[in-house]
Amino acid sequence: MGLYAARVLPRIMEAGCGIKSLEQYRRRVCAGLSGDVVELGFGSGLNVPYYPDTISQVAAVEPADLGWQLAEERLRASAVPVHRKGLDGQRLPFPDDSFDSALTTWTMCTIPDIDAALVEVRRVLRPGGKLHFLEHGLAPDTRVQRVQRLLEPVNKALLGGCHLTRRVTTLIDRAGFSIKEVDEFYEPGSPKVVGADSLGVAVTG
């Protein structure tokens, strides 16, 4: 991990993803999580304040040391135990059937091999386990899609490999999940090229 990714990008993500208007979506995606949870792309712990008390513990997968350091105050205030347990969502260091739930928020865009990561998530979830997701990706409008494709190379270079054109529900389906609920929308006040979100729950077979 280079200096920019290790020391600068986590602070950019803390500022950009920590804005107040996103709190409502974090609260929604965390609702219903229970038992043992694995969170991919834990970042600086911006979801921690919204963990429900039905969670037993969280295994946080986060490659950036600085992100974990920025989470310290939130972790101290949390009643839910959180442990940093992995660095790479593409290769999760857990046995099969280890977790009741999984959580990803604005994470699938940056994982290089997202198909491998979602297969890993499915592997470590118990039968009937739930994946709660809040992700941005390919917009529903053709005009916006054209702009996304033009901007994606620059966006990837500046924001840690962040893709703009991944179709979130297709990726989840392809990994063998069954999507039980999904809300697709543009974030109010956000440019459509980066604010086309999918929020939902999928389950393992």
Per-residue pLDDT band at 6 (split at 50, 70, 90):
confident
Residue 4 pLDDT greater than 90, yes or no = no
The predicted-structure confidence for 100-118, as pLDDT tens digits, reads as follows: 999 999 999 999 999 999 9
Tokens of 99: 């977790």
**133-158: average pLDDT:** 98
Residue 129 confidence (pLDDT): 98
Are 27 and 46 in contact by the 8 Å Cβ rule? The answer is: no
The predicted-structure confidence for 117-131, as pLDDT tens digits, reads as follows: 999 999 999 999 999
Residues found in the chain: 205
The pLDDT mean for the chain works out to: 96
Are 58 and 80 in contact by the 8 Å Cβ rule? The answer is: yes
Percentage of residues in the chain with pLDDT exceeding 70?
100
Name all domains of the chain by residue range, CATH numbers in brackets.
3-203 (3.40.50.150)
The predicted-structure confidence for 135-147, as pLDDT tens digits, reads as follows: 999 999 999 999 9
- 3-class SS of residue 19: coil
Residue 1 pLDDT greater than 70, yes or no = no
Measure the CA–CA gap between 24 and 198, rounded to whole angstroms: 14
- Alpha carbon 29 to its chain centroid, in Å, reads 10
Burial (CB count within 10 angstroms: exposed 0-12, middle 13-18, buried 19+), residue 137: buried
How many CB atoms lie under 10 A from the CB of residue 50? 18
**155-167: average pLDDT:** 96
Measure the CA–CA gap between 91 and 89, rounded to whole angstroms: 5
Residue 81 confidence (pLDDT): 98
Question: What predicted TM-score, i.e. pTM, was given to this entire model?
Answer: 0.97
Residue 64 confidence (pLDDT): 94
